[in-house]
A and B are shown apart, each in its own frame.
Chain A
């Protein structure tokens, strides 16, 4: 039978002799042992110190009554333990992240299932209830008889989340370790979804999540977050960790982030970053944000125009490229000046021996770093561009602007 934590709270507990022991006040899970097993029940006895029954001491569980398979004297006295997850205190009424539905929800009730083993009954946490049935149960429990509540709730729409998809939010890092709360499930989300989830959390909770993500994911999430929140988070991060995250970010995203920070903080973070990355970011920071230089990304693929398609593909396979965002490559002439761009699709369809110089996209467009962003927008609009190359005074390419940079700029306006 389906059991609910709310229904079992307050259940009378009897030992093997049939003596009343106490009433259930709390369920504990020991995530270090078993992520979903109710490991201990807290039994309160009025003015006496409460007792704790372990899962293997429970014989039967029914609505309102629990029977133990041992004597009252075999139970231990209650000692608070930070490594126990308390269903009532840590779960009920708290916010959790539904990693499948990708949003933050509040727990109304917790659904339990019985698992019979030899001589005892284990309770397993199967799902959390975030819908109306749980709310009705919480409201009416103890006021109206459980059978009436069950009849009532069966007519209401269900909204539950399987326990595997529940990600707890715990801002305290020590407690997080003790409760084995990892954010692996969050790392499977799209960074933009996780950023949206984080916007609906409190500052401490956001901080906790960023701190426990790996640097690459943390960087991607920070790039997606609202810039005010990003600033708040980065300012509170340990500078070393912040520098590690910045290192994993694309230089233009890192520069955008640093540009929003106070001068001393951004300088401190740049000091922490390794030389080459810091240099790239510093260079980007020196450009005015509203020019082509302020929009460009310095990570791009450039090739000599005389190479063949086969050589190019061969070389690209050996490189660690970000394939999701790569849609064209920049060509250089013999003096390392900009000579044109080739889209990946053209490259794909070309004959193996064809020289990539012949695949160049017309017209040959590039802009100097100090071009005003408005002019850049107009070029993208007029020629339906997806990539635009930015060059220095001697026509050498120093970065590219992608269409998504343009879109996000325009959306901001």
Chain B
């Protein structure tokens, strides 16, 4: 035995060990830096998969199988591009979106943006509580019990929590979306086929397919999200130096949101589409239909996912709306204030929840009309907000060196115009469902 050789080898190993330790430490520090910022991006993108969204994804999987999966990649890009601009504005200016609109465009535009926002969001809140009711119905709980409990739960959560605590609850809700992944695995899909359709676009030029495609993309981005995300970064006091982490947060959020959508579509495609139940129109119906096809657990998890998504969005929407309105009109806002310090903020929040949940409880409530109104409202509101964002993010006096680069501007404007056009198509087909022949099943 050559002792020298052994000792050099040991030294070498030890060196590699400390090297690894150093690298581990560096990674750990990077993760800690990221964790300090993470939140607004992930939360906002995941709330995207709310009750309305899940219904659309379910339908597209049931009607067209894997054929629409390719649209997830452009959707991820659109989600990231628009979200990133808001994150950047929040981080660089330290001001919320409605603050900036007010300061740069004056009182009147702000007022109209906010009034529209209030009613559109209210309609969205109704849709979320309707989602709660539908999900709980699968568990045989009457909506007269589930909806009031949900409303109180949501209300108390925000009223009693600090921003940090509420954010932790919301991040946990993001994790619960994984129930869709499990549900999809139970459904035993053809993974290879799903992967192929994700990467290779398949176009069918029939009206129904195109309407479903626009519906998918149109529900991806809701205007209130921009306000919520930007406010989140402002409230967390994320500094310009942490901008790379903020951007990573938005990117992780956009991708994780689309991964969940992927599993929802795969799950319904593998079961409902394959077995020929292609006329399913909402998520609750899908959950019920899943039970005989993929087992009890797949159905339960699917319904649970819907419940989680609806509750999640029902707590964020009123919060974000109250925030936007107070910020713009100059009232105290934010859950770090006490009720007495920010009465208008808390009243708006309460009204949105009470009225939103109340409408669902009305016997014979015209729920589908409200759902249509929320879709149309989002569609009208989106172009206005997107254009405000693009104008603001290009202002050098606000953003300094962080204005959009030319390339980014091209991508952003193309995304914005595409989103606006698609949303108009969605609005049009929602108002006139018979305009496109065989569109509605």
Chain A interface residues (CB < 8 Å from chain B): 92-94, 103, 105-106, 108, 130, 135, 138-139, 199, 201-205, 226, 228-229, 232
Contacts and interface: CB of A to CB of B under 8 A. Distances in A.
A232 B102 contact: no
13 contacts: A92-B106, A93-B106, A93-B107, A106-B329, A106-B330, A108-B107, A138-B106, A138-B107, A202-B93, A202-B94, A203-B94, A203-B237, A229-B237
B111 interface: yes
A229 B94 CA distance: 12
A21 B111 CA distance: 32
Contacts of A226: 237
Contacts of A201: 94
Given A202-B93, A202-B95, A94 B107 contact: no
A229 B111 CA distance: 32
Given A138-B108, A139-B111, 7 more contacts: A92-B106, A106-B102, A135-B107, A138-B107, A139-B108, A204-B94, A232-B239
With most chain B CB atoms within 10 A of its CB, the pick from A138, A199, A201 is A138
A404 to B, nearest CB: 22
B329 A135 contact: yes
Across the A-B interface, the 7 shortest Cβ-Cβ residue pairs: A202-B94, A106-B330, A138-B107, A203-B94, A232-B239, A93-B102, A93-B103
Interface residues of B, number: 16
A203 B332 CA distance: 19
Contacts of B108: 138-139
Nearest to B103: A93
B240 interface: yes
With most chain B CB atoms within 10 A of its CB, the pick from A94, A105, A204 is A204
B115 to A, nearest CB: 10
A203 B107 contact: no
A108 B107 CA distance: 8
Given A105-B330, A106-B330, A139-B111, A203 B240 contact: yes
Contacts of A135: 107, 111, 329
B241 to A, nearest CB: 8
B419 to A, nearest CB: 28
Contacts of A106: 102, 329-330
Contact of B94 (A94, A105, A108, A205): A205
Interface in B304-343: 329-330, 332
Contacts of A94: 103
Interface in B115-143: none
Contact of B237 (A130, A139, A228): A228
Contacts of B106: 92-93, 138
Interface in B79-123: 93-95, 102-103, 106-108, 110-111
A301 B161 CA distance: 43
